[in-house]
Amino acid sequence: MKFDGATAIVTGAGQGIGAALARALAARGVRVLVSDLSQDLAIRIADEIGGVPHDGDLCDPTVIAAMIDLANAKFGKVDMLFSNAGFALGEPDGPTSCPDSHWQKSWDLHVMAHLRASRLLVPQMVSRGSGVLVNVASAAGVLSQIGDAAYSATKHAAVSLAQSLAIEHGADGVHVAVVCPLYVATPLLGYDDPATIRAPGVISAEDVADSTLTGVAEGRFMIFPHPDAQTFFAQRAADTDRWMSGMTRLRARVLEQTDGTDPAVIHRFI
């Protein structure tokens, strides 16, 4: 994949991994549309990198259509989509305590937003014989996140959707990739200040962005910015029952020593 001169949309690009991706793409000569729920954050990053700002809630299909129309109007075409927007609220009392509204928003943002954008972009990419669709999922999409079933389930679905897109459109020249980071020093994990001392195994958003673009350049489907995540994935596949027992013990250990199963707490036990 040649980056210089290409165009891209990055969602959830106002901070964290999305902002790091937008900066890394711009540094490689890519023209970037910076999309975020926050107008102020979208404008700030777009101004920094010379990109195009867009704001709105990607749970709304009309917002997605407007985002792609804006990118096409500004760039003439969209070469790459990086679906990064996401959220995690957690569920202190287990999966059944999570309200339908949380499940629905997780589904709309983690799965349907990428599908709806792909639905509009794939025909254009197929007609050109080239294009890149990247979904920044999570290691929770191949393992599981203790304390947030809605996040884990929809990230699993995001990985499955990426597999289907790759199988169906790989022969059309559309490269599909899914990124599965483990723990990253972003506001989602409680690292509002990048200078905060990180727990062992926590990497920076910039590390994720560099790993992602390297993986895309190499034509990889599954991108693991954390080597540990790929190891855990293989261990789970090799002996799922043993893996589940280990996760149950980990949850018990976390609850013995803390007040809950928030990811900002759990990641310090991995």
**β-pair partners for 174:** 131
More confident residue, 89 or 230: 230
CA–CA separation, 210 vs 181, rounded Å?
A: 12
| Domain limits, the chain | 7-226
- List pLDDT tens digits, range 153-200: 999 999 999 999 999 999 999 999 999 998 888 877 777 776 676 677
The residue behind tokens 């599954």 is: 222
Q: Cα separation of 212 and 1, whole Å?
A: 12
3, 75, 151, 183: which one is catalytic?
151
Active site residue 191: no
DSSP H or E run through 238: helix 227-238
Whether pTM > 0.85 for this model: the answer is yes
Q: What is the tens place of the pLDDT at every residue in 39-94?
A: 999 999 999 999 999 999 999 999 999 999 999 999 999 999 999 999 888 776 77
Q: How confident is the model at residue 263 (pLDDT cuts 50, 70, 90)?
A: low
* Span 199-209, pLDDT tens digits: 777 889 999 99
Query: Which top CATH class is 7-226?
Result: alpha beta
- Using pLDDT thresholds of 50, 70 and 90, give the confidence band for residue 24: very high
Q: Give pLDDT, residue 202.
A: 87
Count of other CB atoms within 10 angstroms of residue 28: 15
